Amino acid sequence: MFDAKDPDASLAPPPRPTVKQAAKHLACASVAAARDGKRDVAVVRSASGQLYVVDDICPHDGGRLADGYVEGERLICSRHNWE
């Protein structure tokens, strides 16, 4: 939320939902950013409906997996197509 007394407040990203909140309406073959406590995670629902929660950091180059996409049962990083 913007706070006129704090000019840097508008630069902060909005808070992430919890895993439960993110998963509640997540469609099949989708990914969403969430948090597990203080940890940033990606919540993934595969094409078959299976739900996964993974760290939101691509092991290949450190990109955000929540910015990626789902093909079938695979989560694909949007930066370099790491699966």
Rg of the chain, C-alpha, whole Å: 14
Q: What is the structure's pLDDT at 11? A: 73
Q: What is the structure's pLDDT at 3? A: 53
Structure tokens at 57: 């950091």
Q: What is the structure's pLDDT at 83? A: 87
The number of C-alpha atoms within 13 Å of 18 and in the hemisphere containing its C-beta is: 4
27-55 pLDDT per residue, tens: 999 999 999 999 999 999 999 999 999 99
* Closest alpha carbon to 65 in 48, 50, 83, 51: 83
pLDDT at 1 over 90: no
Query: Is this prediction's pTM over 0.85?
Result: no
